[in-house]
Amino acid sequence: MRIKCVITKNLKKTKKRTCSYIPHGNMEKGIILNYIEKPNPAYLKRGKNKNKNKNKNKKGDIYKLRNVEILLYANRYVHEGNENFSSTTKKLLLTPKVGNKMPEGKKPDWFHVAAPTVAKYNKLKDDIKKLNLHTVCEEAQCPNIGECWNIGTATIMLLGDTCTRGCKFCSIKTSSNPLPPDINEPFNTAKAICEWNIDYVVLTSVDRDDLPDGGASHFAKTVELVKFSRPDILIECLVSDFQGNIDSVRKLAFSGLDVYAHNIETVKRLQKYVRDKRANYDQSLFVLKTAKEINPQLYTKTSIMLGLGETKEEVIQTMYDARKNNIDVITFGQYLRPTKNHLSIVQYISPQMFEYYKEEGLKMGFKYIASGPLVRSSYKAGEYFIKNLVNQRNKDKKN
């Protein structure tokens, strides 16, 4: 299978030359097939088949290519396991890059979303501003903000708007020394939630590694105040890993919440490329497993972004790992690049592949799966089903 690639001596230079090659051994080696424009030999580092005349590039020679960028149209075959790909090409593992200047192409048609309805959108925005609250909908530039805010729901972000970690996919601002948490925030949050007259709320936060318990007590206090005012309301908490601190996990698990959510974000191989170095795959699974062991009445939930270079097999393995750790709910969504300073999109996943992952996950025993290009971990589509799960559980407890 021939893959068009771009070979550059220096990414800062705009001049690029292209050729076709077959992956050989690993991502950086290839067999030269033909040239669209014959590259300058200085752009290539000789591998095998060394000739005395280094300026003579022969068809079939093997070169180690510097700064190889695979074009997006070829990547979908790796993810979807296209049978036309050779076994060598299937082994090609892709990784996202920060600051990649290659064009990502036009977004597919399925990414069209409705514009916010002015009345409800503005009311919710005004309420949040008056009470000095933050929403992940705005801070993370969620594509569903119009859809969710139009029905009067939002995901409240606690502990300020500044994160102590620097994940390469996230647009939330970062600092090693953010402002202290607002002591009035738990009360203001409970007040806003009660005024909105909703029956399901998602509370999330930035990472606060600067706090002794990672902000777990702040979270727990907010949950307790909401439940005190509205015992019937269902609360989902989308939290950090608390650096694996069991005491912090226990504090939140017994606060009265209904759904304990923490995002794995991506497959195991891509963790170091996507997440902050203080986060890792095994620690995230451990936190979710521990929360379930501490309070078996909780529903646990996680989310994965697709389109960062993961393979189908890696996604399936991640689902197996999640079920092995008793995670009840999982969501899949397309990664969208917030700015040019964040990870580039390796590929757009088709709606058919999202449906495939949903079907495979349900076979594994997940209680619910939300899977689609615009699905996010706090997306309302999952809330309806989870709400029914929790209500049924509460009825069973009474009986």
> Per the annotation, where are the binding residues for [4Fe-4S] cluster?
137, 142, 148, 163, 167, 170, 378
Cβ partners under 8 Å of residue 354, min gap 6: 306, 332, 371, 372, 373, 375
- How far is residue 127's CA from residue 154's CA, in Å, rounded to a whole number? 11
* Bridging pattern class, strands 3-7 and 17-24: antiparallel
Alpha helix locations (H) across 230-268?
246-253
Three-state DSSP class for residue 41: helix
- Return the closest-CA partner of residue 30 out of 68, 71, 87, 57: 68
SS3 content of the chain, % helix, strand, coil (to 5): 35, 20, 45
Q: DSSP states of 91-159 as a string?
A: T------BT--S---PPPGGG--PPPPHHHHHHHHHHHHHTT-EEHHHHTT-TTHHHHHHTT--EEEES
Both tokens of residue 163? 């994160």
Q: End-to-end distance of the chain based on CA atoms, in angstroms?
A: 62
Both tokens of residue 262? 């923490």
- Annotated binding residues, as ranges? 137, 142, 148, 163, 167, 170, 378
Phi, psi dihedrals of residue 323, rounded to the nearest 5° = -65, -35
- How far is residue 8's CA from residue 344's CA, in Å, rounded to a whole number? 18
Q: For 16, what's the count of Cα atoms within 13 Å in the CB-facing half-sphere?
A: 16
